[in-house]
Amino acid sequence: MINLLALADDVSPVIRAFEEYNIVPDVIPRAPPCLVKVKYPSGVEVYLGKELTPTQVKDEPFVTWNAKSDSYYVLVMVDATNIENRIKREVQHWLVGNIPGNNVTSGETISEYIGSAPLPRDRNIYVFLVYQQPEILIFDEPRISNSSIANRDWFFVKHFATKYGLGDPVNGNFYVAQYDDYVPILHELVNQNDN
């Protein structure tokens, strides 16, 4: 006989955390069942709501997941929401498609990585999602350099996933960040190139 209480407690910690932080349903309809591993050159690792500083996450991280070697994937990073006021406005921080297996550097970079830049007194959630592609895709999204914020605002992961037939994410992770002294430096770097 199946113990239903035991099954209820057997929920993936990833799913539980995505629901606890309201990433489901605010950002995506269903949480990924598995963790994507994200480690920054600063030495810090992302783990399901861990607090990290913009200084710690300023450089592109190393990202890995259990991938099928004969499949292609999309990696998305968004500033998903402000914890306190629950503004539903996603900002695209990194977008790479047609990734063979989990070799991110061999994928097609659509938006180059930019780090976290929450406003003073804000605590924002930064979400990493991995989708398995049905096939190699042709992305008609604007290409964005890491020195630009143009076309990053009001990006919605669920619309992007629907547009390209990606289904639900297979892996995910997220961290929380607050303002620190690196934020004005990042703003200056990207704003000077958009003027």
What pLDDT, in 10s, does the model give residues 137-188? 999 999 999 998 888 988 999 999 999 999 999 999 999 999 999 998 888 8
* pLDDT of residue 80 exceeding 80: yes
pLDDT of residue 1: 39
Helix and strand element counts for the chain (H, E): 5, 9
**Nearest CA among 164, 163, 113 for reference residue 135:** 164
pLDDT of residue 3: 40
The residue extents of the domains of the chain are: 11-194
Arch. (CATH architecture) of 11-194 = Alpha-Beta Complex (3.90)
